[in-house]
Amino acid sequence: MSLFSTLQIASNALQANQVGLQVVGQNIANDNTPGYSREVVNYLPSPTQQIGAISLGTGVEVQGVVQVVDQYLEERLRGANSDVANSSTQSQTYKNLESVVGALQSNSIDSAMNTFFSSISGILNQPESTSARNLAVLQGQTLASNIGNVATRVIQARNDLNSQVVGLTTSINQLVTQIASLNTRIVATEGGNSQVSQAVGLRDQRAEDLTQLSNLVGVTVQQQADGSDNVFVGGEYLVFEGTARQVQTIYSQDTNGLTAANVSVVGDNSPLKAQSGQLAGLLASRDTILGGYLDQLNQFAGTLAFEFNKVFSQGQGLTGYTSVTSTTPVTSATAPLDAAGLPFTPVNGSFQIQTLNQKTGATSTTTIQVDLNGLDKNETSLNSIASQISAVNGLTASVSPNGNLTISSTSPDVQFSFANDTSGALAALGVNTFFTGSLATDLGVNSALVDNPGAFAASTQGIGSDTSNAQTLANFINQPLASQNGLSVGQLNDQIVSDVTQGSAVAQSMATGDSTFQQTLLGQETATSGVSIDQEATEMIQLQTTYQASAKLIATINSLLNTLMNIPL
């Protein structure tokens, strides 16, 4: 124990306060640095000296400079980031979808549908007019192309999402590589003792990278004792200490036959199971939101086409046919019709084909049996339909090699028409039908009608005789369909619009909720790790005062020493 040791204590204090001031300076300097976590100095009283029975302190010592970080909060914040990225991506997709669907716009499917059915009412008002029928055909084309356009735009949006997924792969790979290399450097710098010496800049950089990665894909971060962070996605690790695993894009086909890009770890062909993050948002947007809508739209288009055609095919136009070719081919002309690869399945029943000799006015009705009762060996195939029709006087029917049925009259005086189809075979084959196709993308209007709008089947009592079929068709939008649990096509469309709108609203509120949660966590995070100039200023004054006091102590000791030195010996 001597004055020198006290001097030493004061000197240490000066040094410690200088360190403190430097940290305050660092904090103030980084007040606006994104991702910066404030640092604090850990002061410790120096070890005591045992002098005789007395223990004397030896002053202060700087144990280390550490970041003020709540690791658990950081983890939750990353999770919240992932959720926000996920839900906002979905919400954005829904918004895009809503504008594509354009429910309240004048070019929407429901508007086109209303216009189309109104035009059929126009036939009721002017049954004799071919132009009224032509208008209905044109409006049908508009409806079909509107549905097709919506589908095309949805598919386009879907493809954009695919490209984004591909883009994500590159970003993820960059980030995981960087994180792995930062891990190595942090471990090397800290030597495994993070309590004393922290590689603060590196840690900040890594934290920033992890935040970015969590935006892309929901990750779990496991902190290791040596200071490295291990990163997992759904059980697969992306970063393990200093090692990063790269990801790749893999492609598959979805139910609509469209290509779907997915991200998987290189060497593994199963997609990464991301629960959140932008990747999850993109995949959900593509598969559930857009894919689901596309499924609904395809189903709607198919229902509209088949059910409308079922009614339409019962009727006759202003003129009959002299030749007609089915629009939907079968894959096998010899298989029973319900197993012949038709998109719509006919049932056991029959239809009638009526010939009209224009010279004599004589009509002849033949019932074509569509035996699909599954009980005997003579189930009806397309070939047997063709042979039944060929047996009708004045008609000949054949099946082309690619599975289309062609019916022709053998004399220019003979026209033919169809009626009373209880089997749905005409609608399924596309004979005497209005719409062609079975999906939103291939929906069209039978070219036979486009070429000859007079063939619009408004009658049920014979060629050009009445408008009872048009009556049914004009009200078809409101007609409950047994196959759709009693819903009409109007209601089906409403349901689709409602699903999109409600989905969008839900996604929007999810995104808002996630964002609020993220903001809350962010508030907490900045409360812990953020720099407060006021706090730093207070700190600074405190350090200044301590420094002044220590300096005073040195001066005092100096004076004491001088006194001692001036004692005359």
Partner 1 sequence: MNIIPVPSSRISDTYVQQELLQQLQQQQQGLSKLQQQISSGSQLILPSDNPSAAVQAVGLKSLLAQNQQYATNLTTNSSYLSASDSALNQVNTLLNNVQSIALGAIGTTATAATQQSAAGQVQNTLSQILSLANTVFNGRYLFSGSSTNIQPYQQTPQGVVYNGNNASLSSYADTGNLFATNVTGNSAFGGFSSDFGGVDLNPVLTANTPLSQLNGGQGVAPGSIQISDGTNISTIDLSSAATVGDAAKLIEAHPPAGRTLTVQITNTGLSVSLDAAGGGHLTIANVGGGKTASELGIAGSVSGTGPLVGNDLNPTLTPTTPLANILGTRASVNITSAGINNDLTIQADTNGPQYNGAKVVYVNDAWFQAAAGISAGHEFANYNQTATPAVASLKLSGPNADLLLTATTPGSAYNNVTVNIVNGGAIGDTASASYNAGSKVLTLTVDGTGQTSIDTAITAINSTGVFTAARDASAEPNTSGGFVLPADIRSNVGNTYLTGTDANTLAVHIQSGASTANNVIQAINSTGAFNASLNLSDLGNDGSGAVSDALADPGATGTTSGGSGAAFDQNSGLQIVNGGQTYTISFAGDKTVEDLLNSINGSGASVLATINQAGTGINIQSRLSGSDFSIGENGGQTATQLGVRTLTTSTALADLNYGQGVGHVSGGDFTITRNDGVTFTIDLSSAKTIGDVLNLINNNATNLGSGIPVTAQLNVYGNGIELVDDDPSTTGTLSVTAINSSTAAKDLGLVPSNSATSGPPTLGALAGATVVGAGANNDLTFQAKEPGTGLNGVTVQFVNTGAAPGSESVSYNSGAQTLTFDVGPTTTANTIINVLANDPVAGKLFTASLTATDGGSPNNGTGVIDTTATATLAGGTPDTLSGADTNPQEVPGVFTALERLQTALQKNDVLGIQRAMNLLTTGQQNLSFARAALGANEQSVSSLQSQVQNEQIQLQGALSNNVDVNMAQAISDLVAQQTAFQASLQVTGLISKLTLLNYL
Binding residues among 484-503 for partner 1 as defined by CB under 8 A: 490, 493-494, 497-498, 500-503
> With respect to partner 1, which residue has the nearer C-beta, 436 or 469?
469
Number of residues that bind partner 1 (CB under 8 A): 90
Across-strand partners of 233? 236
Q: Is 387 in the site for partner 1 (CB under 8 A)?
A: no
| Nearest distance, CB of residue 466 and partner 1, angstroms | 4
| Nearest distance, CB of residue 490 and partner 1, angstroms | 6
Q: Which residues, 281 to 320, sit near partner 1 by CB under 8 A?
A: 318
Rounded CA-CA distance 117/304 in Å is 12
> With respect to partner 1, which residue has the nearer C-beta, 533 or 555?
533
| Nearest distance, CB of residue 216 and partner 1, angstroms | 22
| Nearest distance, CB of residue 245 and partner 1, angstroms | 34
Q: Is 394 in the site for partner 1 (CB under 8 A)?
A: no
Q: Is 25 in the site for partner 1 (CB under 8 A)?
A: no
Q: Which residues, 114 to 133, sit near partner 1 by CB under 8 A?
A: 114-115, 117-118, 121-122, 124-129
Handedness of CA 315, 452, 306, 107 (dihedral sign): negative
| Nearest distance, CB of residue 354 and partner 1, angstroms | 8
Contact between residue 88 and residue 548 where contact means Cβ atoms under 8 Å apart: no
Q: Of the candidates 249, 288, 363, 398, which one interacts with partner 1 according to CB under 8 A?
A: 363
Q: Is 252 in the site for partner 1 (CB under 8 A)?
A: no
DSSP H helices, 329-423, are 382-390
Q: Of the candidates 271, 343, 444, 464, which one interacts with partner 1 according to CB under 8 A?
A: 464
Rounded CA-CA distance 333/403 in Å is 6
State residue 119 phi and psi, 5-degree precision: -65, -25
**Beta strands per DSSP E along 121-235:** 220-223, 229-233
Q: What does the block give as tokens for 229?
A: 């962070």
Q: Is 539 in the site for partner 1 (CB under 8 A)?
A: no
Q: Which residues, 67 to 96, sit near partner 1 by CB under 8 A?
A: 94-95
Q: Is 411 in the site for partner 1 (CB under 8 A)?
A: no
Beta strands at 247-253 and 259-265: parallel, antiparallel or unpaired? antiparallel
Q: Is 454 in the site for partner 1 (CB under 8 A)?
A: no
> With respect to partner 1, which residue has the nearer C-beta, 427 or 500?
500
| Nearest distance, CB of residue 83 and partner 1, angstroms | 15
Beta strands at 363-370 and 349-357: parallel, antiparallel or unpaired? antiparallel
Across-strand partners of 250? 262
Q: Is 349 in the site for partner 1 (CB under 8 A)?
A: yes
Q: Is 107 in the site for partner 1 (CB under 8 A)?
A: no
Q: 202 to each of 189, 193, 198, 221, 384, how far by Cα in Å?
A: 9, 15, 9, 16, 79
Q: Is 48 in the site for partner 1 (CB under 8 A)?
A: no
Contacts with 568 (C-beta within 8 Å, 6 or more apart), sequence order: none
Q: Give the three-state DSSP class for 314.
A: coil
| Nearest distance, CB of residue 118 and partner 1, angstroms | 4
DSSP letter for each residue of 416-456: EEEE--SS-HHHHHTSS-SEE-SSTTT-EE-HHHHH-GGG-
Near partner 1 by CB under 8 A, which window of 228-236, 296-304, 426-434, 514-522?
514-522
Near partner 1 by CB under 8 A, which window of 42-50, 279-287, 410-418, 469-477?
469-477
Contact between residue 133 and residue 456 where contact means Cβ atoms under 8 Å apart: yes
Near partner 1 by CB under 8 A, which window of 16-24, 256-264, 467-475, 557-565?
467-475
CB atoms within 10 A of CB 490: 16
Near partner 1 by CB under 8 A, which window of 42-50, 262-270, 406-414, 532-540?
532-540
Q: Which residues, 164 to 193, sit near partner 1 by CB under 8 A?
A: none
Contacts with 172 (C-beta within 8 Å, 6 or more apart), sequence order: 213, 216, 217, 238, 247, 263, 279
